[in-house]
Amino acid sequence: MEPLKFRQQTGFYKGKVRDVYSISNKYLVMFASDRISAFDVILPRPIPFKGQVLNQVAAYMLEKTRDICQNWLISVPAPNVSIGKICMPFKIEMVVRGNLTGHAWRTYTTGSRILCGATMPEGMTENDYFPEPIITPSTKADEGHDEDISPAEIIERKLATEAEWTVLSQYALQLFERGKAIAAKQGLILVDTKYEFGKIGDEIYLMDEIHTPDSSRYFYADGFAERQARGERQKQLSKEFVREWLIENNFMGKEGQTVPQMSDAWIQTISNRYIELYEKIIGQKFEPVQLSEEETEKMVTGELNKLITQKF
């Protein structure tokens, strides 16, 4: 889809999976597309309803956490579109981990017990709970891969002040606890996730999406302890299954590798899995909405016209 043009538009950015418009240097209009990426590569075919799933899960979770901290979201004028406040972002991703999984586990298997300044206890096995959730921040890279960083390095490199780091870490842990509580009601375990924050003036705001299957990992709670005891893989809800399929087909985003052919049946399978993720996480039936580009633009324009005439 070609970029749209909105009244008082001041910028446009096309990300891997989202199209983002700046309005009056005050608001962001974020379109969650049906594009899907893995290993920092956009896969060649879109996934029906993926954008709607992610946008609506994020909006649901942002509303459920407003009592913890302010967030950027103002409204959701269309199923795959959110409008919110422009924040000056911290160039940090606040990764919170409740279990020894993924990157943390890979680090653990090397013999290291320190990750981003956080200590991981001896004697753990993959997917075990940490005694308390840990924060393992990474830098938010403009290009290339994000990199692990410790709180001390964040302060030293002036990515945040010591006072800001204290607030960011408190918010991240409180948000994670809320996410875990929401997940538990659905028979799920929020395993790990990431948060992004920014500022408007001196105020810190939660930005971007939270607790979605693209930014978080969930395990099924039922049978978790038994699978751990038997050393079996945990049943999880995330887009990890897409990465696993790519790896099985010899693609990890490395130079010279080709994205495997994505059949119609596989595209439908991915779409169905995203819808399942929505229904499991939210606990509501997913209602797919198909709007034309013109209908979506009209909805967004109407909401923006109301905002532009208000005082920010």
Q: What is the rounded distance in angstroms from the CA atom of residue 47 to the CA atom of residue 35? A: 6
The pTM of this model reads 0.92
- Assign residue 187 a region: left if phi > 0, alpha if psi is -120 to 50, beta otherwise? left
Q: In Å, what is the CA distance from 142 to each residue of 90, 155, 213, 215, 310?
A: 12, 19, 23, 18, 33
In this prediction, residue 241 carries a pLDDT of 87
Listed residue (28, 80, 71) closest to 53, CA to CA: 80
CB atoms within 10 A of CB 111: 6
Nearest alpha-carbon partner for 65 in 167, 169, 171, 170: 171
Q: Give Cα 156 distance to the centre of its chain.
A: 27
Tens-digit pLDDT profile for residues 257-284? 999 999 999 999 999 999 998 999 999 9
Q: How much is the pLDDT for 312?
A: 45
Question: Which portions of the chain are predicted below pLDDT 50?
Answer: 312
pLDDT at site 152 = 97
Domains and CATH numbers, the chain: 9-87+239-308 (3.30.200.20), 89-234 (3.30.470.20)
pLDDT attached to residue 232? 97
Helix (H) or strand (E) holding 227: helix 224-230
The string of DSSP letters for 31-52 reads EE-S--EETTEE-SS--TTHHH
Compute CA distances 29 → 83, 248, 249, 270, whole Å.
Answer: 5, 37, 36, 26
pLDDT of residue 144: 56
- Looking at residue 61, its pLDDT comes to 97
Q: Where are the alpha helices (DSSP H) in 79-221?
A: 103-109, 151-156, 162-185
Are residues 242 and 251 in contact, defined by beta-carbon separation less than 8 angstroms? no
